[in-house]
């Protein structure tokens, strides 16, 4: 069946491909080894980086919204982040179709390049409050990128602004937390724990803060699932070999699984 209104003359109009820059996007999969399965490896990681770009877009705007006490606006963004996370978690299932023998055919082509160096993953960790100073050295090669990471490293994460929201709502939060050194990974505080416990015990009185807490738990839960699937996929493909970037590979990925971004939001479940 023909569609009479379909536009076919694009000599003076922008096309779908031009809008999306598909000429650049679809010619950026350069197999260095020429091996068939290297295409899978490249595409999975590029797609994941695109999803990470959107996660950062939503997370950073949510942080700004929370600082302005525009919590319902932040909820929409955080809910979207959770949906995006399901996509990048499932991406590991596709990469897991790569067998160890197939990967070894082109692994040397990566040189020292490694997902460990993903600066967007680091920016997501910074936004979630996980700060590791030694990571910054990796990006010194690109001064503009290094500056961007340094800025994010010193900025408050989403849990920091959530704690500030608790204080603005009248909860007696430790004053030192509100102007703390944000380069230090947050470990927990009794005043924050007490505030969240009050929120969860009186949901109707603190509905927006309760919703914020649950949105944050959704994101941490999904991020840990992503970390776990990452670890198991690496173990499935290379076992316990050292990563191409020099990390301990699976052992490093296992070491971060127990880290909690928002500790009081998990502890409150036991205390209720």
Measuring CA to CA, how many Å separate 71 from each of 75, 127, 198? 6, 17, 18
Confidence grade of residue 156 (pLDDT, cut at 50, 70, 90): very high
* 8 has a pLDDT exceeding 90: no
**What's the half-sphere exposure (Cβ side, CA atoms, 13 Å) at 97?**
10
Distant-in-sequence, close-in-space partners of 196: CB < 8 Å, separation ≥ 6? 166, 213, 264, 265, 268
SS3 218: helix
Per-residue model confidence (pLDDT) at position 238: 87
Q: Could you give the CA distance from residue 27 to residue 186 in angstroms, rounded to a whole number?
A: 42
* Residues 84-133: tens digit of each pLDDT: 999 999 999 999 999 999 999 999 999 988 888 999 999 999 999 999 88
* 268 has a pLDDT exceeding 90: yes
Is residue 153 a known part of a binding site? no
Confidence grade of residue 4 (pLDDT, cut at 50, 70, 90): confident
Is residue 45 a known part of a binding site? yes
Share of the chain above pLDDT 90, in %: 83
Is residue 191 a known part of a binding site? no
Confidence grade of residue 194 (pLDDT, cut at 50, 70, 90): very high
* 243 has a pLDDT exceeding 80: no
Per-residue model confidence (pLDDT) at position 1: 59
In this structure, the number of other CB atoms found within 10 A of the CB of residue 29 comes to 13
CA nearest to 106, candidates 60, 41, 168: 41
Confidence grade of residue 255 (pLDDT, cut at 50, 70, 90): confident
Q: Over range 23-45, report the average pLDDT.
A: 97
Contact 36, 173 (CB under 8 A): no
Q: Over range 150-169, report the average pLDDT.
A: 98
Cβ burial, residue 35 (10 Å; 0-12/13-18/19+): middle
Gyration radius of the chain over CA positions: 22
In this structure, the number of other CB atoms found within 10 A of the CB of residue 121 comes to 19
Sheet strands (E) in 120-208:
none
Q: Over range 24-38, report the average pLDDT.
A: 96
Tell me the pLDDT of the chain averaged across its residues.
Answer: 94
* 246 has a pLDDT exceeding 80: no
Kindly state the tokens that stand for 42: 């490249």
Per-residue model confidence (pLDDT) at position 162: 98
CA nearest to 209, candidates 219, 198, 218: 198
Is residue 41 a known part of a binding site? yes
Per-residue model confidence (pLDDT) at position 30: 96
Is residue 158 a known part of a binding site? no
Is residue 43 a known part of a binding site? yes
Q: Could you give the CA distance from residue 167 to residue 27 in angstroms, rounded to a whole number?
A: 50
Per-residue model confidence (pLDDT) at position 6: 82
Residue with tokens 């927990």: 188
Share of the chain above pLDDT 70, in %: 97
Kindly state the tokens that stand for 252: 């490093």
SS3 186: coil
* 244 has a pLDDT exceeding 80: no
Is residue 83 a known part of a binding site? no
**What's the half-sphere exposure (Cβ side, CA atoms, 13 Å) at 192?**
22
Is residue 42 a known part of a binding site? yes
Q: DSSP characters for 24-86?
A: HHTT----SS--TTHHHHHHHHHHHHHHHHHHHHHHHHHHHHHHTT-HHHHHHHHHHHHHHHH
Q: Over range 219-238, report the average pLDDT.
A: 95
Is residue 44 a known part of a binding site? yes
* 134 has a pLDDT exceeding 80: yes
Taking the model in full, what pTM does it have? 0.93
Q: Could you give the CA distance from residue 199 to residue 215 in angstroms, rounded to a whole number?
A: 14
Distant-in-sequence, close-in-space partners of 268: CB < 8 Å, separation ≥ 6? 193, 196, 197, 200, 213
Contact 37, 19 (CB under 8 A): no
């Amino acid at each position: 069946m023909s569609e009479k209104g379909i536009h076919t003359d694009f000599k003076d109009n922008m096309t779908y491909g031009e809008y999306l820059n598909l000429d650049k996007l679809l010619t950026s999969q350069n197999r260095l080894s020429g091996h068939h399965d290297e295409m899978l490896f490249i595409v999975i990681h590029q797609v994941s980086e695109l999803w990470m770009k959107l996660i950062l877009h939503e997370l950073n705007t949510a942080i700004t919204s929370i600082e302005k006490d525009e919590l319902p606006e932040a909820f929409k963004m955080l809910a979207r982040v959770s949906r995006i996370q399901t996509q990048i978690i499932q991406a590991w299932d596709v990469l897991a179709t790569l067998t160890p023998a197939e990967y070894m055919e082109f692994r040397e082509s990566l040189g020292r390049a490694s997902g460990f160096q993903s600066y967007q993953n680091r920016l997501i960790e910074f936004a979630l409050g996980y700060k590791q100073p030694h990571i910054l050295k990796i990006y010194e090669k690109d001064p503009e990128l290094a500056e961007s990471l340094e800025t994010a490293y010193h900025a408050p994460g989403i849990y920091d602004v959530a704690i500030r929201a608790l204080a603005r709502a009248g909860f007696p939060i430790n004053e030192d937390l509100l102007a703390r050194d944000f380069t230090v990974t947050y470990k927990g505080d009794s005043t924050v724990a007490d505030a969240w416990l009050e929120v969860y015990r009186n949901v109707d009185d603190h509905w927006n803060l309760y919703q914020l807490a649950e949105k944050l738990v959704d994101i941490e839960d999904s991020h840990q699932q992503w970390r776990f699937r990452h670890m198991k996929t690496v173990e499935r493909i290379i076992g316990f070999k050292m990563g191409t970037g020099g990390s301990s590979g699976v052992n490093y990925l296992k070491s971060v699984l127990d880290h909690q971004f928002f500790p009081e939001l998990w502890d409150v479940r036991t205390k209720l």
